[in-house]
């Protein structure tokens, strides 16, 4: 079957039941999205499908409808997405394992809500767990990215 990831079309020979995360990591060698729980409880595997945040660990690739964006396609080292730049500025990551999912979820949040309140950030980001507890920095970075995007 065919799927488009970060603007590139790929042909993969997999069972339709295979979760998108497996296809990305094991078939296409795109390792940004992480495996955490496999049942949409932690958010580490979050990618975008046509701009919407999706937990790729439990999306059967046969049910995929739309183009996939992973953290590799969100920005580039030369031109970071505003959320990535804010993550660097606020040194959000500690161990970093969940951060790909956090950033993808935060970018999707700002797409739907350009100026979220603390409460709205908490409501949207509570599906993305961070065992290092970087939540205060995540919140600050999202506010910062929202500000930068509004000025752009």
Residues near another protein (CB under 8 A) are: 17, 38-41, 46, 52-55, 58-60, 63, 65, 112-113, 120, 122-124, 126-127
Cβ atoms of residues 80 and 88 within 8 Å: yes
- Cβ at position 85, least distance to another protein in Å: 23
Tokens read off for 124: 């949207």
By beta-carbon proximity to another protein, the closer residue of 75 and 127 is 127
Least distance to another protein, CB of residue 151, Å: 24
Q: Give least dist CB 23 to another protein, A.
A: 14
At closest approach, how far in Å is the CB of 40 from another protein?
4
The count of other CB atoms within 10 Å of the CB of residue 90 is: 19
> Which token pair is 109?
């949040």
Contact 106, 99 (CB under 8 A): no
Which CB sits closer to another protein, 26 or 122? 122
CA triplet 98, 100, 103: central angle to 5 degrees?
105
Contact 121, 108 (CB under 8 A): no
In terms of CB distance, is 38 or 75 closer to another protein?
A: 38
Q: 52 or 95: whose CB is closer to another protein?
A: 52
């Amino acid at each position: 079957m065919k799927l488009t990831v970060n603007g590139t079309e790929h042909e993969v020979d997999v069972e339709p039941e295979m979760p998108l995360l497996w296809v990305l990591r094991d078939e296409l060698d795109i390792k940004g999205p992480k495996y955490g729980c496999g049942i949409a409880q932690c958010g580490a595997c979050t990618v975008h499908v046509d701009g919407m945040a999706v937990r790729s660990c439990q999306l059967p690739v046969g049910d995929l409808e739309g183009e996939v964006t992973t953290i590799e396609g969100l920005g580039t080292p030369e031109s970071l997405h505003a959320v990535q730049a804010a993550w660097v500025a606020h040194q959000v990551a500690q161990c970093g394992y969940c951060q790909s999912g956090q950033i993808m979820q935060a970018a999707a949040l700002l797409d739907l809500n350009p100026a979220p309140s603390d409460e709205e950030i908490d409501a949207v980001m509570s599906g993305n767990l961070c065992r290092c507890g970087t939540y205060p920095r995540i919140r600050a970075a999202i506010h910062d990215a929202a500000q930068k995007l509004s000025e752009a």
